[in-house]
Amino acid sequence: PAPVLAIIGRPNVGKSTLINRILGRREAVVEDVPGVTRDRVSYPAEWSGRQLTLVDTGGWDIDARGMASRIAEQAEIAVELADAVVFVVDATTGPTATDEHIVRMLRRSRKPVVLVANKVDDERGELLAAELWSLGLGEPHAVSAMHGRGVADLLDVVIDVL
């Protein structure tokens, strides 16, 4: 079976947009309203002749209660079932307490993690992306899921950890 890559991160950081960019079509639901992707949704994908399964998840929220906490639970399950994880952070807002919380969850999982600094739509954003070194997950890979900037380089890195 194809290796499984879980895409996780807070609501609205651009997880579904990134998946659509990788798939080359609009399949994952993108919304301006946080919390649209509720369950884990899998998509078969390919890069450099390698098959992989992308798993979109709902946003992970530290203060989650009720439905939101079930969505977070789904994200944790996605991590447990994954061979590697792409952790998406919004570079324009910087790391939040929830991001720090996700980092701790990811450390416990011992899964290979690729850190993505999304919404770096132009060169000016690179400096913001560099601030995500502070999360302690290694190099933040700056991308713009919306425009495709940096996504090919990111996939090369992802294929290497799978």
Please give the Cα distance from 94 to 134 (Å, whole number). Answer: 10
10 Å Cβ neighbour count for 93? Answer: 13
Binding string, residues 26-65; x marks residues near ligand GDP by CB under 6 A: ----xxx----x---------------------x------
10 Å Cβ neighbour count for 112? Answer: 16
Residue 105: name the closest of 76, 68, 70 by CA: 76
20 lies in the binding site for Mg ion (CB under 5 A) = no
Q: Is 32 annotated as a binding residue?
A: no
**13, 64, 82, 158: residue in contact with ligand GDP (rule CB under 6 A):** 13
118 lies in the binding site for ligand GDP (CB under 6 A) = yes
To the nearest whole angstrom, how small is the minimum distance from the Cβ of residue 3 to ligand GDP?
21
Please give the Cα distance from 60 to 65 (Å, whole number). Answer: 11
Please give the Cα distance from 90 to 128 (Å, whole number). Answer: 9
74 lies in the binding site for ligand GDP (CB under 6 A) = no
16 lies in the binding site for ligand GDP (CB under 6 A) = yes
Question: Where are the alpha helices (H) located in 6-96, listed in sequence order?
Answer: 15-23, 66-81
Please give the Cα distance from 113 to 100 (Å, whole number). Answer: 14
**6, 14, 54, 75: residue in contact with ligand GDP (rule CB under 6 A):** 14
Report helix, strand or coil for 34.
coil
Q: Which residues from 123-162 bind ligand GDP, rule CB under 6 A?
A: 144-146
122 lies in the binding site for ligand GDP (CB under 6 A) = no
Binding site for ligand GDP (CB under 6 A): 9, 11-17, 30-32, 37, 59, 118-119, 121, 144-146
Which residues belong to the annotated binding site for GTP?
9-16, 56-60, 118-121
